[in-house]
Chain A
């Protein structure tokens, strides 16, 4: 049927992109959650093991990944709220494009400062 790349070649509306991002972010965060559970569980092995592991987390690559994670959760959350709003108040769907743009704007407004703040530690 429709090939994966073709999901990107169709020119739908903003909703098309927001859905792709929501899905990628959701799955991405889920995969992180799986890893996160494992590492947190290691706490049961005592401080030594755990603290050692945290080293990994402090590597710059990981710190950048962390920024992405925050971005993904943030976007997924804001967009999730949009989905809930239109689901429970179908009347708002008359404004669907505007709502989608609003999600984008809110996300950028929150994420950019946060990212700069978080990345400032990496640079240090």
Chain B
């Protein structure tokens, strides 16, 4: 099939303003959008810049706005996108070059929720036991690949970048609901603030954007509920 990629280009080293690059070529309908981007980079314009690695939706490198929604370029096939495809960088982050954005602030938020298991009891000789039912409680949120699609699609985050954002909350949830974790109190304190979970207005754009199909809003809701019960 014939496709046209409209890509928002911006290289601060030489451009004053972002501009739209248009690239027309033939591709297989079953190609990933990432394959099409690679085609542009490899054969049409070597300066096109974006991140990519695994090419099958696991590493979280290539989240971008595709036809107006946040997706992973390696996880959408051209046949589902139509002939004219508009591609822009994730919004809400500083654009460094073309589709590549600065994720430092995003990752700093991730780190702020203490995303690691905290235990005070000494480790047993073998594994800590955990029932399948307890394991199931946080299964959904262990899937996060830190791609940033959710946070960048969240209107509350667009409004104020101080919002810790859905991705960080997802990762806090992963530990808050892990029966082995004993660091909940600290994490709760970070989240029980204006810039924590309470800025979430249940807009669900995060859920729509998440390439790992994590029900992000539900995780946030569970954290809110946990905060509520802790206080009452």
A binds B: yes
B153 contacts which chain A residues (CB < 8 A)?
A: 10, 12
Known: A10-B91, A10-B153, A90-B218. A16 touches B158 (CB 8 A): no
Most buried by A among B69, B155, B161: B155
| A interface, CB within 8 angstroms of B | 1-2, 6-7, 9-16, 19, 83, 86-88, 90-91, 93-94, 96, 100
Interface set, chain B 178-230, CB cutoff 8 A to A: 201-205, 207-209, 215, 217-218, 221-222, 224-225
* B158 adjacent to A13 (CB under 8 Å): no
Complex A-B: 25 CB contacts under 8 Å? A1-B92, A1-B161, A2-B92, A2-B159, A6-B158, A10-B68, A10-B69, A11-B68, A12-B205, A12-B209, A13-B207, A15-B202, A15-B217, A16-B208, A19-B155, A19-B203, A86-B221, A87-B202, A87-B221, A87-B225, A90-B221, A90-B222, A90-B225, A93-B221, A96-B204
Q: Which residue of B lies closest to A14 (CB)?
A: B204
Residue of B nearest to A96 (CB): B204
B67 contacts chain A at the CB level, 8 A cutoff? yes
- CA distance in complex: A86, B222 (Å): 10
Q: For B68, what are the chain A residues with a Cβ–Cβ distance below 8 Å?
A: 9-11
Contacting pair A11 B202 (CB below 8 A): no
A14 to B207, CA, bound (A): 11
Interface pair A15/B215, CB less than 8 Å apart? no
Given contacts A10-B153, A90-B221, 13 further A-B contacts (CB under 8 A): A1-B158, A6-B91, A7-B155, A12-B204, A12-B208, A15-B204, A16-B155, A19-B155, A86-B221, A87-B221, A90-B222, A91-B218, A96-B204
Question: Chain B residue with minimal CB distance to A99?
Answer: B204
Q: Which residues of A contact B224 (CB under 8 A)?
A: 87
Residues of A within 8 A of B91 (CB): 2, 6, 10
Query: In the complex the two chains form, what is the Cα distance from A15 to B194 in whole Å?
Result: 22
Write the nearest CB–CB distance from B227 to chain A, whole angstroms: 12
Distance from B210 Cβ to chain A, minimum over Cβ atoms (Å):
11
CB of B184 to closest CB in A, whole Å:
17
The distance in angstroms between the C-alpha atoms of A16 and B221, with both chains bound, is: 17
CB A49 to nearest CB in B, in angstroms, measures 41
Q: What residues of B have a CB within 8 angstroms of the CB of A10 in the complex?
A: 65, 68-69, 91, 153, 155, 205
**B17: min CB distance to chain A, Å:** 15
Question: Restricting to B46-96, which residues have a CB under 8 Å from any CB of A?
Answer: 65, 67-69, 91-92
Bound: A108/B217 CA distance, A: 26
A16 lies within 8 A of B204 (CB): yes
Please give the distance in Å from A77's CB to the nearest CB on chain B. Answer: 16
Q: How close is B64's CB to chain A, nearest CB, in angstroms?
A: 13
Give the CA-CA distance A15 to B154 in the complex, in Å: 11
- B218 touches which of A6, A12, A83, A94 (Cβ 8 Å): A94
- Using Cβ atoms and an 8 Å threshold, which residues of chain B touch A11? 67-69
State A91–B222 Cα separation when bound (angstroms). 9
Report the bound CA distance from A14 to B65 in whole Å: 18
